[in-house]
Amino acid sequence: MPLNIISNFASHIAQRNLAISDSAATTSLAKLSSGSRVVSAKDDAASMAVGSRLAAEVVGLKQASVNAGQAISMLQIADGAMSKINDIMIRLKSLSVQAGSGQLSGTERAMLDTEYQALVSEVDRISNDTDFAGTQLVDGAISVDRSSATAFETADGVQDIIFRGDTSTAGDATIASSAAGTFSVTLGTDVFTGSIPSDTNDGSSMSTGTVVTLTNTSSSNKVDLVLNTAYDVDLTKADGTLDLSGSSTTSFSFKVGTGTSSTADEILVTISSVSSSALSIGTTSITSKADADIASVAISNAIDDIQTARADVGANQNRLEFAAANIATATENTEAARSQLLDLDVASEMSNFTSKQILMQAGVSMLAQANQLPQNLMQLFQ
């Protein structure tokens, strides 16, 4: 290579290597300051893609853990309400057995019935008042709103309405509007009609516990529709029509996964209603020996129903606790996998950064030496 002063080849080489060392040191510094091995896609595109998905998975699992915890709390509230209603049932059982004994007079039974009916009302109050953040839990979540004609089951398992009177007709019942403010229920060949108890004839002032009496002109029988829960009034619907719907249970779907599966990530929990109507004690009394005997049997059955409902709640609590434990394990393992892909080995990277710093210092020194080489040639002109 000829010696010249116009093109300093050594300086160019030193500059290029210094730039490479500076870039490497800058990249290492970015990793150290962020704590991440993959700062940009060019560092490791595959790890960045997988790591981002795992990070989202961890966030979803943490929220699923919160969901499971709240679900367990909700079921604990429901179980607590059922426990208190069970205590009331035990007292009702005592009163019914006492009223069924022949040494009592009608006056004394009436006194006992006063407490009996008060406790039945308390069952309904607890049923309607037990909620979690505004969501009713043990009332069956039965809703009634005004709408077009509809059909509803009259089977024993349905607690949206109580039929008092002629309930011998099997099958479905249909409800339809006959005029503004009135409607009719058809049971087989019998048609029972009644009016909505509202000043506006649209049901807007009806509330929980409202009883609508339906009569049949050709029969002395009558049917009472007892609205057991609050309902939503929609003023866009036609006046004088009702839509009765619901069941004796309330279902909740708890998300205990990250949403990758619409079914496997959810736990469906069904809570049975423990209102007096759902327990079939709403119309019982102990004013006579015969009524007391009937009430005693009904209360025994109600106690069995409550235990069944509590067993279902307890089983779902245990299931949710196992789900929460599984979520905790999955979160830990997913976080570990994400860490392997994205987290920086600080000790290793610090060694790398120190190496790049040394190369930069050496590069700066060699560039200074390279810039001195053309000056050495000036001695040839002396």
Q: What is the per-residue burial (b if ≥16 Cβ within 10 Å, else e) of 290-303?
A: ebbebbbebbeebb
In angstroms, the CA 18 to CA 362 distance is: 8
Q: Average pLDDT for residues 12-41, to the nearest whole number?
A: 79
User: Count of CB atoms within 10 A of residue 55's CB?
Assistant: 15
The answer on 261 and 239 residing in a single domain is no
The answer on 91 and 148 residing in a single domain is no
- 309 in helix, strand or coil? helix
Q: Residue 149 pLDDT more than 60?
A: no
The residue segments making up the domain with residue 221 are 142-246
Residue 178 near residue 193 (C-beta atoms within 8 A):
yes
The answer on 117 and 101 residing in a single domain is yes
Residue 6 lies in a domain: no
The answer on 273 and 197 residing in a single domain is no
Which amino acid type is present at position 153? E
* Adjacent-strand bridge partners of 215: 193, 222
- Residues with Cβ within 8 Å of 104's Cβ and at least 6 positions away in sequence, in order, are 98, 112
The answer on 265 and 128 residing in a single domain is yes
Last residue of a domain, one of 226, 246, 266: 246
Q: What is the DSSP letter of 42?
A: T
The answer on 131 and 275 residing in a single domain is yes
pLDDT tens per residue, range 165-197: 333 433 445 555 555 556 676 666 777 777 765
According to the model, what pLDDT value does residue 208 have?
52
- Residues with Cβ within 8 Å of 171's Cβ and at least 6 positions away in sequence, in order, are 154, 188
Residue 311 lies in a domain: yes
Residue 42 lies in a domain: yes
pLDDT tens per residue, range 64-101: 999 999 999 999 999 999 999 999 999 999 999 999 99
In angstroms, the CA 116 to CA 88 distance is: 10
Six token digits for residue 350: 């610090």
Say which CATH number the domain at 76 has: 1.20.1330.10
- 132 in helix, strand or coil? strand
The answer on 123 and 253 residing in a single domain is yes
Give the mean pLDDT of the chain.
75
Q: Residue 323 pLDDT more than 80?
A: yes
Six token digits for residue 197: 């108890």
The answer on 316 and 304 residing in a single domain is yes
pLDDT tens per residue, range 324-382: 999 999 999 988 888 888 777 778 778 877 888 888 888 888 888 777 777 776 676 66
Range list of H helices, 100-194: 106-129
Range list of H helices, 146-197: none
The answer on 241 and 161 residing in a single domain is yes
Residue 217 lies in a domain: yes
In angstroms, the CA 366 to CA 374 distance is: 14
The answer on 148 and 132 residing in a single domain is no
pLDDT tens per residue, range 51-71: 888 888 889 899 999 999 999
According to the model, what pLDDT value does residue 180 have?
52
Last residue of a domain, one of 246, 264, 283: 246
The answer on 218 and 257 residing in a single domain is no
The answer on 161 and 234 residing in a single domain is yes
* Adjacent-strand bridge partners of 245: 143
Residue 357 lies in a domain: no
Residue 355 lies in a domain: no
Residue 188 lies in a domain: yes
pLDDT tens per residue, range 272-285: 888 887 888 888 99
More confident residue, 173 or 315: 315
Ramachandran region, residue 4 (left: φ > 0; alpha: ψ -120 to 50; beta: rest): beta
Q: How many CA atoms lie within 13 A of 19 on its CB side?
A: 6
Cα 18 to Cα 6, 161, 349, distances in angstroms: 21, 86, 20
pLDDT above 90 coverage of the chain, percent: 28
Residue 173 lies in a domain: yes
Number of domains in the chain: 2
According to the model, what pLDDT value does residue 162 have?
40
Last residue of a domain, one of 246, 275, 292: 246
